[in-house]
Structure 1
Amino acid sequence: MKLKNHYIIVLIILSVWGGCISPPDDFPTIPDISFNNMEFVQASGADSLIITLNFRDAEGDLGLNARDLFPPFNELNYLTDDEGNFITYSNRPDDAPSFNNRDWVIFPLINNVEIEDTLWVSENEDYYNIFVKFFIKRGGNYTEFKWSDPPYFTTFNGRFPRMLEEERGRAIEGNIRYSMLSLGWNSIFRTDTLRLELQVQDRALNRSNVVTTPDFTLAQIER
C-alpha cells in the first residue's frame, strides 16, 4: 500500500493467570496500559525509538498474527462508486487525492484475483492493535505531527502478535517493548520537544486507555 521509512519490532514479556491461580480482582475487560520506559538508540543504519508499556487484560485477547487479515482486521478498504464499482485512478472523482502510496494501490490482489489497475483505498484502523500519535511542543503548545500527511504518507501504528494462541480467555499482564526504526528521527525532530500518545486494542476491538509519555528530546532519552 505504501512505502514506509520505518520498521517496527515488538518484544513482549508475559505473565498468564490460569489454572488454580486466580488473577487479581481488578483485571479489566478493556485493556489497561501504563507508561514504563522510553529510549532512543542510534545505530549505523536505522535508529530506534523504543517505548515500553505495562499492560493488563482479563481475557488475554491481545495481539494479531499474520493470518488475522480478514474483516475486521483487513488492512484496506477499497472505495467504490454509487454503482459499487472500484474507483480507479483514471476515473477518479474531483475530490479524490492525487497519487500517493497511501491512498492508491497498484494492481492489488482482491479475493486472490489481481486487479490490473490503480484503486483508491482507505486504511482500516482495526488492522492495527497499537496506535501512536506524535506531538511537538512549541511555545508551550502541542501540535500533532501527522505522519499520514505529505511528504511521508505513512504511520507508526503497528501490530503485535497474539499473546495467547488458544481462544480460551485467561488474564494476562506484562510489558510490550515497541521499537520504531527509522532513518529520519534526527533529521526530522532534531532538538524538538516531543511527547507521544499510545493505545492498544484487543481482538474484540476494545481500545485501552490513552497513555501519554513525558516530554522528551531525542538527546534526553538517548541510550
Structure 2
Amino acid sequence: MTFNRNIYALLLAFFLLGCVSPPENFPSTPQISFEDISYVELDNASDSLIVSVRFQDAEGNLGLNAEDINPPFNPLEYQRDNSGALITYSNRPPEAPNFNPIDWEINPIVNNTPINDTIWVKQNPDFNNIFIKFYIKRDGVFSEFDWSDPPYYTTFNGRFPTILSDNNERAIEGTIQYSMLSSGWRAIFRNDTIRVDVQIQDRTLNKSDIVSSPEVTLNQILK
C-alpha cells in the first residue's frame, strides 16, 4: 500500500468579477460551500478522491505557487536548542518524538546550507492553503481518521495555485476541484461510511469556514 504525498489541486473553473468595489455579499474572508465529492479508480495508477468547493472572495488573494516558500509560507520550522543549534536525532531531548517522516527531516537545506544530519522539524500549517479532514463512521458515530498517525505519517492538506494572474485585487468566485491520489483508498475504507471536511485559506492567512461532504461510501461516489 502506498500513499502519494504529492497532492495536487486542479482549478477547473472560476468566474472573475472585475469590480472597483466588491459586491456587498462578497466577504473579505474566503467563503466556501461544498459542491461535490467523487472517486475515480484507474488501472496501473493511483486512485483519486476528488472534492469540489465553490468559493467567493472580495480581494481575490487566493492561491499559492511553487515559489511561495518564504515566511509565512515556509514548509518547515526547524527546531533549535537554547543555544540556537539545530536539534539532531542523535542529540534529541526527551520530549522529542521518535523518528517519523513528519517530525524529522533527513539532510535538509537550512538557510541555503546543506545539513548532513536528521533534524527535528515542525510542519508549518500556513505552507498549505486547503485543509482536509477525514471522518469515518463506527457504530453510528463519526470519529476523525488522522492520516498523520502511524502507520501513514502523511497528510492530505495541500495547495491550489494562484487564481489571479496579476496583483490587482478584485472580487472573484468559482470552483476549486482538489484531487487526492492514493492506491490505498479501497484497502482502508472498503464499504465504510466517510465524511470529508474542507477549509481554504487566503494569502493573508484568513481561513474560510469548514464545509462538509455528505456521508458517502466509495461505491456511492465511484465514477
TM-score range, shorter chain: over 0.9
> Structure 1: any 5+ residue segments left out of the alignment?
none
Give the aligned partner of residue 33 of structure 1.
Answer: 32
Provide Cα deviations, 1:13-36, integer angstroms capped at 9, x if missing partner.
Answer: 11111157x653200000000011
TM normalised by structure 1 equals 0.95
Retained in 2: the 8 A contact 1:6–1:183? no
Amino acid across the alignment from 2:38 = E
User: Closer, same or farther in 2 for the Cα pair 1:14/1:144, shift >3 Å?
Assistant: same
Q: In percent, how many aligned pairs have the same letter? A: 54
- Counterpart CA distance in 2 for 1:11 and 1:185 is 20
Shift of 1:5: 2.9
Give the aligned partner of residue 112 of structure 2.
Answer: 112
Amino acid across the alignment from 2:172 = I
Give the aligned partner of residue 197 of structure 1.
Answer: 197
In structure 2, the residue corresponding to 1:220 is in which secondary structure? Answer: helix
Give the aligned partner of residue 133 of structure 1.
Answer: 133
- Counterpart CA distance in 2 for 1:58 and 1:115 is 43
- Counterpart CA distance in 1 for 2:111 and 2:96 is 25
Provide Cα deviations, 1:165-191, integer angstroms capped at 9, x if missing partner.
Answer: 322211100000111010000001111
Retained in 1: the 8 A contact 2:59–2:169? yes
CA RMSD of aligned residues (A): 1.4
- Counterpart CA distance in 2 for 1:220 and 1:4 is 22
User: Closer, same or farther in 2 for the Cα pair 1:4/1:117, shift >3 Å?
Assistant: farther
Retained in 2: the 8 A contact 1:31–1:56? yes
Provide Cα deviations, 1:72-123, integer angstroms capped at 9, x if missing partner.
Answer: 0000000111111110001001121111111111110112110111100000
Give the aligned partner of residue 92 of structure 1.
Answer: 92
- Counterpart CA distance in 2 for 1:191 and 1:41 is 15
Map residues 143-162 of structure 1 onto 2, 5 A cutoff. 143-162=143-162
Provide Cα deviations, 1:31-57, integer angstroms capped at 9, x if missing partner.
Answer: 000011111011111111011110000
- Counterpart CA distance in 2 for 1:71 and 1:6 is 22
- Counterpart CA distance in 1 for 2:80 and 2:5 is 30
- Counterpart CA distance in 1 for 2:183 and 2:171 is 38
Retained in 2: the 8 A contact 1:7–1:182? no
TM normalised by structure 2 equals 0.95
- Counterpart CA distance in 1 for 2:203 and 2:212 is 23
- Counterpart CA distance in 2 for 1:19 and 1:98 is 52
Retained in 2: the 8 A contact 1:134–1:194? yes
Provide Cα deviations, 1:185-206, integer angstroms capped at 9, x if missing partner.
Answer: 0001111110011100000000
> Structure 2: any 5+ residue segments left out of the alignment?
none
Amino acid across the alignment from 1:149 = D
| Matched residue count | 220
Shift of 1:6: 4.4
Retained in 2: the 8 A contact 1:134–1:144? yes
User: Closer, same or farther in 2 for the Cα pair 1:119/1:158, shift >3 Å?
Assistant: same
Give the aligned partner of residue 175 of structure 1.
Answer: 175
Moved more, 10-19 or 200-209: 10-19
Amino acid across the alignment from 2:28 = T
Pair 1:219-2:219 in alignment: yes
